[in-house]
Each structure stands twice: as structure tokens, then as C-alpha cells.
């Protein structure tokens, strides 16, 4: 972290603190507008972020050099960097598996098992939730499952919108529940409590949201069209591709042993290449190739990285806008305004906590970054009412994980959408679902956010911190 990030100098804007929100507010309005217009192109989104930051500069009453320096400082956010690197590794892993034929194997398995339509969508939600819970990366799950399960599901008669929503829902489930997830670690450490206890305490909220989501995915997820995609049209479906489930299992096993996501995915990539090569499913040129005539390098590894370069730039620009909003005072003003509503009521205080986390996730599209911004306020307000650290951490993490995969400009939605766009470039018959189409149907995300709001209003799961630090249902004096 740079000195500017640790101790940023305040920026002054025309319109006061509200002026510092202009870059992100403009971007959000721009993103919604071009998505509704049917052109949610990542380059167009980048342009919107650039225009927003430029407007902020013209509204800045501090020196423009100071403003530009803070924009650069915001782009150096280590959370954004880690997220982007994880995308690259997950993209390479998923592309190698796809190139080796795992999609064809999944289609064959779905066909012989009868898992078509809604059943396939429901299974995708469950599998994505399990994978994300083990590996700890919701964004990586969105990349992997959009690459593998999405094209397979189209063949099996799944509705594209519901299928994409199921993938995002599973990613949100795992992001919330995974012991090694960034959001889980941040929620526990910022509220000064233990990770295992936090995970155990939040399962009741997660499962309450997941069960009705699963039922609806099963009932509504199929349209019976069974569009023909890629190699399947040429009779490529067969059981051999299921050998590529072994690298998937290896990644989960390594993650459960506490290895870093880059370590687990590296071994997943290497094992997928080895198994695919030994089984005759993967030629060396499919992994990496050099086209001397065109003067470029291709193959699965290159495709896994190249598809996310524009999105990486976009995320850095958005994080810079959030940084400007923070040091310009708009975030503090928003939090203070909500905080005055709490009064002396525990229920109202928890509604305020929910609202603060919700509001920050609207503007900060990387959920871990939004969680870090909200954590001090959640801690301060929760301690005032003696709420147990588990309770505080659950509000912080559940709402953040839910919303990170809902809003059309959210990081989880954009990375899944970009993955599907990459697939459509390789195979134009693949239907592309835009962020504005999918966001109402990310059922687990919506249900989890609603469950936490109901928990605040009714006291469901509410516990307090006793004088000895233990958990109690009775509010201490």
C-alpha cells in the first residue's frame, strides 16, 4: 500500500463531498444506459469510467495534480490486483479444460442421466456453490463455470438467462461461505473474531437463501430448446472428457488444505494439461501455439488471459473512482447520514448496518474492497449495541457477497459476462446474456440479501457479546 493510500490527503470538490461521487455515479448511469441500449461492450464501459474520472477532475477544487495522483493511487489498490491475477489463472484453467473436451463430457453425462433443462440449471447452481465454497473465489468460479457449464447447459435445453444466473448464484454462495474466501477472511479479521466460528454461524443464513433459489432454478431453468453448440454438433460428446474432472477435484482438495488460490489453480492447469495430453485429448498446439505468419501466439493459455485484459483495465478505473469518492468524503457522508437513523434500537442499528454495506456495494464493484470500506463502521456501530462479532461479520459478508453478483456493473457479473462473450467469439452459436438481462434472476444473491434484512428486522440469529466475550442471546446491560 502506498503512503497516499494509507494517509490520503482530502480532495475538495465543487458541490462539497457530493462532488467526489460524480466519477462513479456517472459511470453507473453510463453502464446502465449502454446495457439497456444493447451494447454492454467492455471498451464502452472503460470509456464511461474514463469520462467519469475526467469530470471529477474538472469538479475538483484541489490541484489537478493532486487529483491525478490520487487516481493513480486508487488504481494501485492491492485488492484489485489480486482479483485480476486470479482471473487470469482461472481463465487459463477453464480454457485448458474446455479445449481438452470437458464440456463434451458434461454434455454426455447430462444426456445419459437425463439432467436436462431446469435439472441441469439446478445442478449447475449446486456444483458452482460447492466449487466456490472449496476454492474460495467467486470470481474464479464465474469464469470456470461460464466456460464449462454454460455451453454444456445450452445443449441440454437450459435457458441461457437462468443458467447464467445459477452460475452467479453459486459463486455468491461460495464467496459467502468459503473459509478461505477473501470476504470471509476480511469479515472475520475486521470484526476481531475467528474464521471457523464465523463460517459455522453463517450457514443458517446461506442455506435459508439457497433452498428456495434451488427450487426455482429447477422449476424455471429449462426452455427445452437444446441449441446445438460447437463440437457437440459434430458428435463430439463422449465420456472421455470426464477425465478432466480430476483436475477439478485436485483444485478443490488443495484449496481445502488451505493452499493459496494461485497455487491450487497452477496445479489444476498443470494436471489438466498432463491428463489431457496422456489421454490424447489435448495437442500441444492447443495449449500454446506460435503462428509465425500472423506473428502471434495462440492456444488455451493465451485465450485464458487475453479475454480479460480489457475488463482488468475497467476494474482498475472503477477502483480509482471509489478511492476518489472515499477521500473526497462522499462515502463518509453517506455512512453518517445512515448512522443517524439507528437511535437506541438494535433492530434499527442492524438495518443501518445492512444499508451501509448495501450502499457501499452499489458504488464499489469489487466486493472485498466494498467490505473493507464498510468494516470499520460495522464494527463501531455493532460494538455500541454489544452485537457479537459473528453477527457483525455475517452482516458484513453476506450482504457483500450477495450484491457482488447482482448489479450489472458488479465485478462478478462483468467477469461472467465477459467469459460468455469470449466463448461467443470462438463459437457464434452461443447465446450471450447481458448483465441487464441476468441481474433480476440471481436468486441466491437476492434471497441472501433479503434474509439478512429480515434477520435485522426480526432478530433471527441475533446474538450479543457477553462480558466474558462469549456468545449470548440476551442483550447485556
Does the residue 46 lie in any domain? no
Predicted local distance difference test score (pLDDT) of residue 406: 92
Does the residue 286 lie in any domain? yes
Does the residue 160 lie in any domain? yes
Tell me the pLDDT of the chain averaged across its residues.
84
Q: Which residues pair with 60 in a beta bridge?
A: 13
State pLDDT tens for residues 74-115: 888 777 777 788 778 888 888 888 888 877 787 777 777 777
Contact in structure between 365 and 440 (CB atoms under 8 Å): no
Predicted local distance difference test score (pLDDT) of residue 452: 95
Does the residue 264 lie in any domain? yes
Does the residue 204 lie in any domain? yes
Q: Which whole-number Å values give the CA distances from 51 to 44, 57, 302, 321, in the listed order?
A: 11, 10, 30, 11
Beta-carbon contacts of residue 420 (< 8 Å; ≥ 6 apart) = 146, 150, 164, 430, 432, 433
Is the pLDDT higher at 76 or at 65? 65
pLDDT higher than threshold 50 for residue 267: yes
Q: Dig out the grid coordinates for 187 from the structure.
A: 469479515
User: How far, in Å, CA of 383 to CA of 402, rounded?
Assistant: 24
State pLDDT tens for residues 316-370: 888 888 888 888 888 777 767 766 766 678 888 899 889 888 988 887 777 777 7
Q: Which domain holds residue 138?
A: 79-309
State pLDDT tens for residues 18-31: 899 899 889 888 88
Predicted local distance difference test score (pLDDT) of residue 226: 53
State pLDDT tens for residues 218-254: 999 887 565 444 444 434 557 888 888 898 888 888 8
Mean pLDDT, residues 59-67 taken together: 92
Does the residue 132 lie in any domain? yes
Predicted local distance difference test score (pLDDT) of residue 5: 47
Question: How many structural domains compose the chain?
Answer: 1
Q: Which whole-number Å values give the CA distances from 43 to 47, 223, 280, 308, 334, in the listed order?
A: 6, 32, 38, 12, 30
User: How far, in Å, CA of 27 to CA of 408, rounded?
Assistant: 12
Contact in structure between 25 and 328 (CB atoms under 8 Å): no
Predicted local distance difference test score (pLDDT) of residue 436: 87
Does the residue 378 lie in any domain? no
Mean pLDDT, residues 434-445 taken together: 92
Does the residue 175 lie in any domain? yes
Contact in structure between 68 and 276 (CB atoms under 8 Å): no
String of DSSP letters for 66-111: HHHHHHHHHHT-HHHHHHHHHHHHHHHHHHHHHHHTHHHHHHHHHH
Residue located via cell numbers 466486493: 367
Q: Which residues pair with 298 in a beta bridge?
A: 289
Predicted local distance difference test score (pLDDT) of residue 233: 41
pLDDT band at 312; cut points 50, 70, 90: confident
User: How far, in Å, CA of 443 to CA of 423, rounded?
Assistant: 24
In this structure, what is the dihedral angle of CA atoms 465, 186, 415, 118, given to the nearest 10 degrees? Answer: -30
Within 294-452, strands assigned E span 296-298
Mean pLDDT, residues 185-193 taken together: 84
Beta-carbon contacts of residue 341 (< 8 Å; ≥ 6 apart) = 348, 351, 352, 355
User: How far, in Å, CA of 390 to CA of 60, rounded?
Assistant: 40
Mean pLDDT, residues 163-178 taken together: 93
Q: Dig out the grid coordinates for 296 from the structure.
A: 502471434
Max CA pair span of the chain: 77
Mean pLDDT, residues 412-431 taken together: 87
Predicted local distance difference test score (pLDDT) of residue 2: 43
Amino acid at each position: 500500500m502506498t503512503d497516499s493510500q494509507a494517509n490520503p490527503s482530502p480532495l475538495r470538490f465543487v458541490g462539497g463531498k457530493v462532488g467526489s461521487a460524480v466519477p462513479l455515479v456517472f459511470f453507473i448511469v453510463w453502464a446502465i444506459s449502454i446495457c439497456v441500449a444493447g451494447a454492454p461492450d467492455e471498451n464502452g464501459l472503460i470509456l464511461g469510467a474514463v469520462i467519469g474520472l475526467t469530470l471529477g477532475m474538472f469538479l475538483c477544487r484541489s490541484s489537478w495534480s493532486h487529483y491525478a495522483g490520487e487516481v493513480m493511487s486508487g488504481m494501485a489498490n492491492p485488492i484489485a490486483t489480486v482479483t485480476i491475477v486470479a482471473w487470469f489463472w482461472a481463465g487459463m484453467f477453464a480454457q485448458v479444460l474446455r479445449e481438452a473436451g470437458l464440456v463434451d463430457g458434461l454434455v454426455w453425462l447430462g444426456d445419459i442421466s437425463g439432467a436436462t433443462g431446469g435439472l441441469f440449471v439446478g445442478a449447475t447452481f449446486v456444483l458452482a456453490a460447492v466449487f466456490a465454497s472449496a476454492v474460495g473465489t467467486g470470481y474464479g468460479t464465474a469464469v470456470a463455470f461460464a466456460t464449462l457449464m454454460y455451453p454444456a447447459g445450452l445443449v441440454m435445453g437450459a435457458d441461457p438467462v437462468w443458467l447464467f444466473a445459477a452460475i452467479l448464484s453459486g459463486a455468491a454462495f461460495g464467496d459467502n461461505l468459503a473459509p478461505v474466501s477473501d470476504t470471509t477472511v476480511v469479515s472475520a479479521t475486521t470484526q476481531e473474531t475467528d474464521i471457523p466460528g464465523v463460517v459455522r454461524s453463517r450457514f443458517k443464513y446461506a442455506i435459508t437463501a439457497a433452498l428456495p433459489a434451488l427450487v426455482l432454478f429447477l422449476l424455471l431453468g429449462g426452455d427445452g430448446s437444446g441449441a446445438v453448440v460447437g463440437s457437440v454438433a459434430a458428435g463430439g460428446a463422449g465420456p472421455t472428457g470426464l477425465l478432466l474432472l480430476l483436475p477439478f477435484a485436485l483444485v478443490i482438495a488443495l484449496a481445502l488444505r488451505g493452499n493459496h488460490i494461485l497455487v491450487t489453480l497452477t496445479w489444476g492447469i498443470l494436471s489438466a494439461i498432463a491428463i489431457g495430453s496422456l489421454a490424447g485429448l489435448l495437442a500441444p498446439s492447443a495449449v500454446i501455439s506460435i503462428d509465425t505468419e500472423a506473428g502471434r501466439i495462440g492456444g488455451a493459455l493465451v485465450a485464458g488471459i487475453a479475454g480479460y485484459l480489457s475488463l482488468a483495465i475497467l476494474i482498475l478505473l472503477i477502483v480509482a473512482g471509489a478511492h476518489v469518492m472515499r477521500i473526497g468524503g462522499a462515502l463518509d457522508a453517506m455512512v453518517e447520514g445512515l448512522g443517524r437513523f439507528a437511535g437506541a434500537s438494535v433492530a434499527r442499528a442492524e438495518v443501518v448496518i445492512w444499508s451501509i454495506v448495501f450502499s457501499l456495494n452499489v458504488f464499489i464493484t469489487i466486493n472485498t474492497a466494498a467490505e473493507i470500506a464498510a468494516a470499520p463502521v460495522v464494527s463501531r456501530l455493532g460494538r455500541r449495541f454489544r452485537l457479537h462479532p459473528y453477527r457483525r461479520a455475517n452482516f458484513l459478508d453476506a450482504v457483500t457477497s450477495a450484491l457482488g453478483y447482482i448489479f450489472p456493473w458488479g465485478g462478478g457479473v462483468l467477469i461472467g459476462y465477459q467469459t460468455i462473450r469470449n466463448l461467443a467469439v470462438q463459437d457464434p452459436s452461443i447465446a450471450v446474456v447481458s448483465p441487464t438481462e441476468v441481474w433480476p434472476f440471481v436468486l441466491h444473491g437476492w434471497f441472501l440479501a433479503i434474509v439478512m434484512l429480515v434477520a435485522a428486522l426480526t432478530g433471527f440469529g441475533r446474538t450479543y457479546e457477553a462480558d466474558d466475550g462469549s456468545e449470548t442471546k440476551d442483550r447485556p446491560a
